[in-house]
Amino acid sequence: MASTNPRNLRLAAGAALVVATVCGATTAIRLDAYNVPFSLAVACGLGAASTAFALLMRLVGRLGTTVYACPVDGCNFRARLTAASPADHRRLREAAAAHPAHHVPRS
Ligand SMILES: [Zn+2]
């Protein structure tokens, strides 16, 4: 489980912002070609940009997140860490392996 450098996460977030901005601008420009009113084209462009940014940030979040799960069958204990130190990773790995109460769902 490789942890991602926080600097790389910031770079990925910046790249996501650029891609989302281009996506929104492209949408607005394409709508302008169909004589859509400017305010409506801007609104659609902002909507497309915000949607693209939200999706890309979810992906960026997945890249930098490490999930530690309990090894006991049926236990649903999980701990997620994003951009944490190696000491935090070690602490949560140990906690996931030996937490006091296993959360086995009743069937
Ligand atoms: Zn457990």
Q: How far is the CA of 90 from the centre of ligand 1 (A)?
A: 17
Whether 10 and 57 map to the same domain: the answer is yes
Q: What is the pTM of this model?
A: 0.65
pLDDT digits (tens, 9 = 90+) for 76-91: 888 888 877 889 888 8
Whether 51 and 72 map to the same domain: the answer is no
Q: How far is the CA of 78 from the centre of ligand 1 (A)?
A: 8
Whether 52 and 89 map to the same domain: the answer is no
Whether 24 and 41 map to the same domain: the answer is yes
Q: Could you tell me if residue 48 is inside a domain?
A: yes
Q: Could you tell me if residue 10 is inside a domain?
A: yes
Q: Could you tell me if residue 34 is inside a domain?
A: yes
Q: Could you tell me if residue 104 is inside a domain?
A: no
> What's the CA gap between 78 and 88, in Å, rounded?
15
Q: Could you tell me if residue 102 is inside a domain?
A: no
Mean pLDDT of the chain: 87
pLDDT above 70 covers a percentage of the chain that reads: 95
Q: How far is the CA of 2 from the centre of ligand 1 (A)?
A: 23
Does the pLDDT value for residue 56 go beyond 60?
Answer: yes
Give CA angle at 101 (100, 102), nearest 5°.
120
Q: How far is the CA of 67 from the centre of ligand 1 (A)?
A: 14
The number of CA neighbours under 13 Å toward the Cβ of 15 is: 9
**Structural domain count, the chain:** 2
- Domain interval for residue 29: 6-63
Q: How far is the CA of 71 from the centre of ligand 1 (A)?
A: 7
Question: What is the phi/psi pair of residue 62, to 5°?
Answer: -65, -35
Report helix, strand or coil for 30: helix
